[in-house]
Amino acid sequence: MSKIPASVLAFEKKLVPSDGIMYGTTWANRNSQSAPLKLQEKSVRGTISNRLKKSEEGKIDAKIESANLQTVDSCALSPDQDTLRLNFTLKVLSGVENPSACNHEGFNQSYTKAVRGYIDDSGFVEVANRYAANLANGRFFWRNRVGCEDIEININILNEGAEQNWTFKSQSMDMRGFNNVSDDVKALGSLIAETLSGDNEFLLLEINAFAKVGKSQDVYPSEELVLDKSNNKDKKSKILFDVDGMAAMHSQKVGNAIRTIDTWYPGYEEHQRPIAIDPYGAVTNLGRAYRQPRAKTDFFSLFDKFSQGEKLERQEDEHYVMAVLVRGGVFGEKQ
């Protein structure tokens, strides 16, 4: 089949999380009492502990004896609080079969037909169940999930006339795979799948998540990227994210956790953990890209075939391609 190029091709994201606002509460009163957490600024006197450059070896004795003065943001529960509450909303949108921008009618028709075929065959069930599992297991807590005594996730549907809610005990849920999904997770996944498939225009969820981390313990909002490269001694070396003075997590960080569903990539058997849906399977904190173009396992290699109506070798590859489209992005081919 001859390839139909589209130099302008873009897709809007279909999972739209809000920023996550952080509150402090107690486990006993978690559903009735909570207070927004504030960021605290600290000035600390540390030591030099990073590896020095070769060019600095002549100055090493003088440098390592100097104090490392820093101003940083921090966030912690108060002495009478033992539980972190994280609140955010998630909107699921339909319309993945329609690019937000496409400059080739032939490609548009071929692509739409391929997506409708996927929806008829699979109905987004597998992909949606994995999104639901990541809501239920509290993956979006990130570092805040480590060392918790208990974790509970409450999910409410906010669509008018479709009110429904679930409560998940998340502490014992499997974080390494999606083979043992409960009936409640599947029920939530079914609603997400129906929306992605176009049966509903949108689905709006509110998530209230609770993690019992312990009295006065540190909690971890998102950290802002410091773009100021100057050596100004008064600048802050760690800046945490807040919304109107309330400690918070970026919507991008929440979204990354929800789309951490890719167990279909080469190397999963060795790595034994899902990675976030990404065109090249990039995991930046490991410095690896698991889906290499030379192996033809990256999104673009698979998408070029899928969008032209070719059957992919594995159904898992179709799930992956559709999950990248749900993620959204600009995928036009350079001319």
The pLDDT tens digits of the residues spanning 19-74 come to 999 999 999 999 999 999 999 998 887 777 777 776 666 655 656 777 777 888 99
* Gyration radius of the chain over CA positions: 23
Q: What is the pLDDT of residue 230?
A: 66
**How high is the pLDDT of residue 2?**
47
Q: What is the pLDDT of residues 159-185, one digit of tens each?
A: 998 889 999 999 989 999 999 999 999
DSSP 8-state symbol, 159: S
Q: Is the CB of residue 188 less than 8 Å from the CB of residue 132? A: yes
User: Whole-number mean pLDDT of the chain?
Assistant: 92
Q: Are the CB atoms for 108 and 114 separated by under 8 Å?
A: no
Q: How confident is the model at residue 216 (pLDDT cuts 50, 70, 90)?
A: very high
Total Cβ atoms within 10 A of residue 204:
16
Q: At 233, is the pLDDT very low, low, confident or very high (cuts 50, 70, 90)? A: low
The pLDDT, as a whole number, for residue 48 is 75
